[in-house]
Structure 1
Amino acid sequence: MLFLKTGLLVLSAALGLTAAQNNAPSSSITLQTHSLYPPYIDDDLQNRWFDFGGDAIINTNKHVRLTSNRPSQVGYLWSRLPLATLNFEIEFEYNVDGPSGHLFGDGFAMWLAKERASTGPVFGSVNGFDGLGIFFDTYDNERSHKHSFPYVQAMIGDGYKHYENDKDGSSTEAAGCEADFRGKTVVTKARLTYYKNNYLRLELQHEKEDEWTECFKIHDVKLPDQVYLGFTAHTGEISDNHDIISVTTKTLPPIAIEPKHQIPQTGKKPKSSSGGGGFLWFLFKMVAAAGLVGVMFVAYRVYDKSGNMKRF
């Protein structure tokens, strides 16, 4: 029975390893310095870790409204400290809405940039920035794009490249996706994951609760060593309410470097993420381990019939 016992030990070890992987405790840490929740302000009407400015309005029960549904507004929300961690995840809940109609805009942006709290023409912040800008654009300026709006777009700034408003940033786009995030009844969220010297990924929730879709994934993104986390918005002749409801920033443990064969997704609808991969891998391990046990058992029976094994 030695072969059979060995096979059972292999099977048990495989199942135990899978269970341990599926239930491994997370080593991520929430960074209070870059997280924001209601009521947003303290007794002095300030926030210890964030600055608000421009036309931003704080409703302590609901949101930080970067711009109201009024023309020519600019509002911002910026962390006071740089984000000094190599790998991180930023998940934020937002809401973009206003009166029904065909014209609304212009949108809002999420930033990881070296310069903070300065207003400008790029969704309320400065042009020629150094770092990452992710633009939630609701208005089509050029009218000749192959994709529809609303549109989510990433731009990697080096301090010299300029975002072109009249072209909706098409000449400096690193990746993007169509995403109908405006005026939704479902909670709208975004989740940015960054591993230094590995990849940057943006996922969105805007169709169903707890259903995330991958907007884009880019390899070899190099951010400046010290970046500030920010959110800005602006309106022109047309307008919208642009609200930030909550922000949660976590550190992430290092992971293995991924192969760099993925092509950034540009101008396409986001792909739905699936949770089936882990189960299939678990099933594969079970089948492989069971097959190993079967082979060992057959070998044991054949060896036993040959009379070369002594019985006890």
Structure 2
Amino acid sequence: MLHKLTKAVVAAALATAALCGVAQGAYRRIKADTTPLRQFELEPPFIDAGMQMRNWDFGGDTIVNTNSYIRLTPDLTSRKGYIWSRQTLPNDGWELEFSFNVGTKGGYLYGDGMAMWATTERATPGPIYGNKDFFKGFGLVFDTYANSPHDFTFPIVQGVISDGSTPYDYAHDGDANRAGKCNFFYRNQDHPTVMRVTYIKENFLHVQYKLFNKDWADCFTISNVTLPKGLYLGFTALTGQVTDDHDLYTVFASEKHLGKSSDFNHYFPGMSTPTIMNSPTPSNFVGTFFKLLLGAIFLGVLYVAYRMFSSNGGANRF
């Protein structure tokens, strides 16, 4: 009898594990097909043989050092600079990786910040880290100077989605507009910091960062997001009374769209469970469901064991 009971328990456990594995595997089998977008690439020397930037426009106080970097603003007061793509990003999905550095030669005060944009309008300088207010699309803001008190530390990275009708809450560092954020120290690093932004229409927008000699780390994820069509890619920066060099080193882009097979972990290399803004994570839901299912099956096995034990006259039958 004990041998039969042991076999029943083991079989139930194996069945439960297999069920969990199949269901979670189905959730993770997501394919992301990738097509490089050469027209959005930036890397030294930046300028082609005709001494032109064929796919980009820059202006304001931006300086292109052909051998090293694109300096959106120098470490001087009241400067504003930008660089914008001439073509629009794919509507259904894309992934960007760009490297940058922010820093100053000295002093304890620095700012104001820089941003990456995917917006329907381009090359219009303004007060929002060098870009216009009332933008339509997505902004990834690198804010290094706190304009008001907060319960988190600076510098920060934050995501903003706008329909063009809401002003940016600049006085409170975007508190009213923030869709996601993370904190890590990217100023005055010895090596450029790399950001990765992945967007899949009607699914999510995921942001990661990578410091030198470190693995990719999650910044934030916005779920159930659909951005407007016809988005230009831009990078801008702004200084006021506080200053920084805001340097862009490289930009690489690819088109992304989901298929029917492949591995979720391949799509998000090194990604841990993301922090989903505005809705619970599917991974948390799946994990909780199968924990409850496993508990129910275990109680069922115990009940069957008890009935078998009772029908055979108690412990003296073993």
Q: TM-score range by the shorter chain?
A: 0.7 to 0.9
- Residue 237 of structure 1: SS of its match in structure 2? coil
Q: Please give the secondary structure, in 2, of the residue aligned with 1:166.
A: helix
1:1-312 residue pairs with structure 2 within 5 A?
Answer: 27-142=33-148, 144-206=149-211, 208-255=212-259, 263-264=276-277
How far apart in 2 are the matches of 1:254 and 1:171? 32
Contact 1:55 1:67 in 2 (8 A): yes
Q: Secondary structure at the match of 2:176?
A: helix
Aligned residue for 1:287? Answer: none
Q: CA deviation at 1:85?
A: 4.1
Deviation at 1:225, TM superposition (A): 1.1
Alpha-carbon deviation of 1:262?
5.7
Q: Using the TM superposition, give the Cα deviation of residue 133 of structure 1 relative to its aligned residue in structure 2, in angstroms.
A: 0.7
246-255 or 197-206: bigger deviation: 246-255
TM-score normalised according to structure 1 size: 0.73
Q: Deviations over 1:160-212 (max 9, x none)?
A: 11112110010111111112100112331100001111000000113x42411
User: Residue 127 of structure 1 aligns to which amino acid in structure 2?
Assistant: D
Q: Deviations over 1:124-144 (max 9, x none)?
A: 0000000001100000111x1
Q: Match of 2:125, as an amino acid?
A: T
How far 1:238 moved relative to its partner? 1.1
Matching residue of 1:270:
none
> Using a 3 Å threshold, how does the CA distance of structure 1 residues 262 and 211 change in structure 2: closer, same or farther?
closer
Distance in 2 between residues matched to 1:249 and 1:191, nearest whole Å: 10
Contact kept, 8 Å, 1:111 with 1:229, in 2: the verdict is yes
- C-alpha distance in 2 between matches for 1:199 and 1:59: 35
1:42, distance to aligned residue in structure 2 (A)? 2.2
Task: Report if aligned partners of 1:88, 1:249 keep a CA contact under 8 Å in 2.
Answer: yes
Question: Contact conserved, 2:91 with 2:201, CA < 8 A, in 1?
Answer: no
Q: Which residue of 1 aligns with 2:17?
A: none
Q: What do residues 103-142 of structure 1 show as CA deviations (whole Å, max 9, x unaligned)?
A: 0011100000001000000000000000001100000111
Q: CA RMSD in A?
A: 2.5
Cα 1:185–1:115 change in 2 (3 A) is: same
Q: C-alpha distance in 1, partners of 2:59/2:192?
A: 25
Contact in 1 for aligned 2:33/2:259 (Cα 8 Å): no
- Number of residue pairs matched by the alignment: 241
Counterpart AA for 1:239: T
Letter in 2 for 1:182: R
Residue pair 1:83, 1:226 contacting (<8 A) in 2 also: yes
SS of match in other structure, 1:33: helix
Matched letter for residue 170 of structure 1: D
Question: Are the counterparts in 2 of residues 187 and 205 from structure 1 also a CA contact under 8 Å?
Answer: no
Distance 1:26 1:226 in 2: 21
Q: For the Cα contact (< 8 Å) 1:186–1:209, is it kept in 2?
A: no
Greater alpha carbon shift after TM alignment, 128-137 vs 178-187: 178-187
